[in-house]
Amino acid sequence: MDQYEIEDTSDWLGSPNRLETIKHYASMLEEDIQALKRELRAAKENISGLVQMNDQLSEDLKRARTWLANREAETTVQLGEIQSLTLVLSQKERTIRKLQVGKPVSD
């Protein structure tokens, strides 16, 4: 490209010079940095809130698991009682049938 093909705009009215352009760019960068700092602060607050929520949910889960373990233990005891009563009922019914048929009862 020849020198005469490049348009020199340095003397145009209202065109920023190199220093003004750099200052403007620096100003834009500072605004971007401030915006990023605000976003980072908000993100940290969100993370802090999420950590607190996680802690609360972990405690709730621990309580729920304890409650469930207690219910399982109660259910196991009740199941044992039901099986015992079912066995007694079956023995009673067998004895009644034997008595109705006239056989002697022996267990």
Cα–Cα distance for residue pair 79/91, rounded to 1 Å:
18
| pLDDT computed for residue 104 by the predictor | 67
Is there a contact between 24 and 16 (Cβ–Cβ < 8 Å)?
yes
Q: Percent of the chain, pLDDT > 70?
A: 84
Burial of residue 98 (CB within 10 Å: 0-12, 13-18, 19+) is middle
Is 5 a residue whose pLDDT tops 80?
Answer: no
Cα–Cα distance for residue pair 73/66, rounded to 1 Å:
11
DSSP string, 18-47: HHHHHHHHHHHHHHHHHHHHHHHHHHHHHH
Mean pLDDT score, 65-83 = 95
Domain extents in the chain: 16-101
> pTM for the full model?
0.53
